[in-house]
Amino acid sequence: MSSQTVSGTKNYVDLHIHSSYSDGTYSVRDIIEAAGQKGLRAISVTDHDSIDGYPLAQELGDGLGLEVIPGVELSSEIEGIDIHILGYFIDIHDSSLKSKLREMKDARYVRAQKMVRNLNDMGVDLRFETVLKIAGEGAIGRPHIAAAMLKEELVYSFKEAFDKHIGYDSPAYVEKLQMEPREVFALIRDAGGIPILAHPGVTKVDERLSEFVKDGLLGIEAYHSEHNVRQQRYYRNYSTRRGLIITGGSDFHSGSQSKTEIGGPRVPYSVVEVLKEAHTRFLKGQTL
């Protein structure tokens, strides 16, 4: 094992990474190799509406001595605001969770078809087959459509694709399958998992945090690539006062589109230890 692989002196984690099973460009193998090279001790592959990458991630992680925590990222909506919720230590064999994820993946496919039709009606001659080829086995998202538009030379950049065509309030935009946050909290908890609010500094829903806690939220992603030092401190302090779990991760999607690499920001392994303890208490029906 080289000096760059996992060792006892490496005590950082990344609990928010996307693979090609959703809208990331890295394969699960790429992610595990990158995490090993970074010397991370634990990671979680948190694909949008998909847990398909976990078995391989766990197998490859075991080979490196890298701890892989089962995770997922689910979308919800409240008053027009898109709110993302992470679920950790979910039972990937839970039948209700698997059924809902299938429904969400199917809805993403239909949504993508509608957006491509909207683009075609606007005179943007994008082929749905290109979107499917780029998405591969993953749940289709808007980044796949943007990548297809870029591949077919219909736009000059991802930014142009979102700003002019498929961003919120843009002409070709189609809403996702809608669930309220409390529904997602319940779905994750019923599957034995811990629901965590993703990047609250990005979604700007601080005024709803107390409501979310009452509805079943158990933690907050305080460390995130788009949270500045002040925001990290605020969410850590808020979580401590409310007895919430603190987590963090890079929200990595690709080498070219992500704001940081796998392993950034620096999230201590103690976050995983607290998450594990909370999960054990939760399964026993104890107060967190």
Task: Write the DSSP string, 253-268.
Answer: --TTT-SS-TT-S-EE
142-165 exposure pattern, b = at least 16 Cβ within 10 A, e = fewer: bbbbbbbbbeeebbeebeebbeeb
- Residue 7 is predicted with a pLDDT of 43
Eight-class DSSP state of 162? I
- Residue 176 is predicted with a pLDDT of 82
User: Rounded to 5 degrees, what are φ and ψ at 178?
Assistant: -95, 130
CB 197: neighbour CB atoms within 10 A? 27
**Two tokens, residue 85:** 């919720």
pLDDT band at 165 (very low <50, low <70, confident <90, very high): very high
Architecture of domain 12-92+194-283 in this structure: Alpha-Beta Barrel (3.20)
Tell me the mean pLDDT in the region 87-98: 97
For residues 45 and 275, the answer to whether their CB atoms sit within 8 Å is no
- Residue 62 is predicted with a pLDDT of 97
**How many CA atoms lie less than 13 Å away from 107 in the CB half-sphere?**
16
Domain boundaries of the chain, sorted by first residue? 12-92+194-283
- The Cα–Cα gap between 211 and 215 comes to 6
Question: pLDDT tens-digit profile of 237-265?
Answer: 999 999 999 999 999 998 666 568 999 89
Q: Is residue 47's pLDDT more than 60?
A: yes
**Two tokens, residue 286:** 């104890």
- Residue 257 is predicted with a pLDDT of 60
Tell me the mean pLDDT in the region 228-232: 95
Widest pairwise Cα distance in the chain = 57
**Two tokens, residue 246:** 């603190």
* Residue carrying structure tokens 């970074």: 38
